Structure 1
Amino acid sequence: MNRSAVDLWFVEEVLPLEGALTGYLRRKWREANEIPDLRQEIYTRVYEAATVAIPEMTKPFLFMTARNLLIDRARRAQVVSIEAVLDSEGLDVADTVPNPEQNAVGREALRLLQAAISRLPPRCREVTLLRKVHGLPQRDVARRMGISESTVEQQVAKGVRLIADAMADIVPEPVTSRFGRRPRKVGQP
């Protein structure tokens, strides 16, 4: 894509949405001092994506990018540090077998995942299963289904996004960190 066309699109279509984007970020992200950095990262992602193809609908694309970034950040905030894992290795943990509650939660998550996969459009479902479950290379999936590799890539991205959206409602019970605080979820004060 022509950089000058992307620049023009960005200035005319994206930047006028800055106020709405900032308001969205303020409502969804607790750390107000991080909003300028979040906004910059969103702009970077949107601009880079537009160098491949300018989205037809700018506002939904911008806000979907913002939503995805906030989800990424929230997930990263819930990841346990490697030091905490190393510290816990020295503990005498007698039983690592999941308890009945953990088994039930796991079964329910699997059921919801299966339901999300079954709701995918047929071609999207087949492509996603071949790539992500069966591990076939993109080229092989394209050949097998008689579609282009870029279509395989698009269908996998769509499938993963739809599954992630369906699974986003599944939030594990909050745990207390070693500092006595519960992890913050996006949008919670």
Structure 2
Amino acid sequence: MDGEPQSTDDAVSALVDRYGRAIGSFLLRRGADPCEVEDMKQEIFAALVRRSDVHTIDNIEGYLFRTANNILVDRSRRALRRPVLVTGETFDGIPAAVDEISPERIALGRERYRLFVDTLQEMPERQRTIIVLSRIEEFSGREIALQLGISLSLVEKEMHNGLKFLKARLS
């Protein structure tokens, strides 16, 4: 954000434009109810607006995705406290199995997410940007090449190396 300092509202609006789609995808991939994704995104960015120090956050991307993850966890906890109503059965009359989100599973998920974000931060900036644009924002290789002003073959090379790095660290 070069030039004159932006107001908090302008800064948040720019962040909504930049990360809104990626956060929506992030939430859906982690099991958020599609009907609630827009509300959850508003909650994430409202948390950012409430902060008076938006311009001092060093890793805004990490902050946004951690906030998204925290909101998912909070909603999961609230859902666990509500009674579960079984409304459907399988074709043979046996109720469908429910995959419960236990506190241990939540803790493991948080740890894996933290490790993923830390590993992303260790990558060179261009490689990290390509991984985020491809895997989180769901851009195609051509779109990434155009946005970054680099060749498609360089995007593919950086993607390959970045995924190899992530696999080595997260396996």
**TM interval, short-chain normalised:** 0.3 to 0.5
Using structure 1 for the length normalisation, give the TM-score.
0.40
The higher radius of gyration belongs to: 1
Using structure 2 for the length normalisation, give the TM-score.
0.43
Point out which structure has higher relative CO (alpha carbons under 8 A, 6+ apart).
1
